[in-house]
Amino acid sequence: MFTGIVETIGVVKEFIETDTSDVGGYGSSIVITDCPLILEDAHLGDSIAVNGTCVTITDFNSKDFKVGVAPETLRRTNLGGLRPGDKVNLERAVAGHVRFGGHFVQGHIDTTATILSITPDGNALTFWFQPRDSSVLRFIVEKGFIAVDGASLTVIDVDETDRKAFSVMLISYTQEKIITSKKQVGDTVNIEVDLMGKLLEKQVTLQIENQLKGQLNSTMTGLVEKIVDSKLKELK
């Protein structure tokens, strides 16, 4: 589990494609350097978020560390496009003494997104992202949480019809702490939607299925009915 508060930015030293037992089978390895903060208490087997993707430390020394990347991870994230010299967001798994400043981030990427536009607004930057899998937009809501390359950000707007995209704003401080501000239109980012949206959808779906079967949970059903009625009134 992670908080979405990026601790430091590392640099890709090497990208190794392999089909040996080096990473437990077919897959790849990434060696990341220039991140002394991460190496202070590193251990073999530790989980670490690289651009928001939860991976495992398979080797490390005083200067850099290596993680294994499975084929599914390469298909689902932007890690497969990393090359030596590229910068990445890094965050260690949350510890019990850490203040939870972001939101619950699992490190399980839902999809990638393409940067559609970058617009200055004072000293801030507004980014519009178009997810490769547009179905995730149903979990993205205005003023809700979103993890972009592992950084916990607030959603500014969502356009589910025309652009099929959403926007966030980076203040000047955040621009200095994460890699997103250095990216260009057309670049890709990893997206993890808020877990609460997925859980809510599943619960609502289960309630509907149970209602159809005659197994009614009156408390949850009443809540859902109130939400639906309220939304219908707004639309009218």
- Report how far residue 127's alpha carbon sits from residue 132's, in angstroms, rounded to the nearest whole number: 16
> CB burial class (10 A; 0-12, 13-18, 19+) of residue 195?
middle
Count of residues making up the chain: 236
User: Residue 177 CB: number of other CB atoms within 10 A?
Assistant: 16
Active site residue 108: yes
How does pLDDT run across 30-56, given as a tens digit for each residue?
A: 999 999 999 988 999 999 999 999 999
Q: Among residues 20, 135, 154, 205, which one is catalytic?
A: 154
Q: Residue 200 pLDDT more than 80?
A: no
**CA diameter of the chain:** 63
* Residue 151 among the catalytic residues: no
**Residue of 33, 56, 126, 134 marked active site:** 56
Which H or E run contains 106?
none
Six-digit token string for 150:
């592992």
- CA–CA dist 154, 147 (Å, integer): 9
> Is 35 annotated in the active site?
no
- Could you report the per-residue pLDDT of 99-158, keeping only the tens digit for each? 666 677 889 999 999 999 999 999 999 999 999 999 999 999 999 999 999 999 999 999
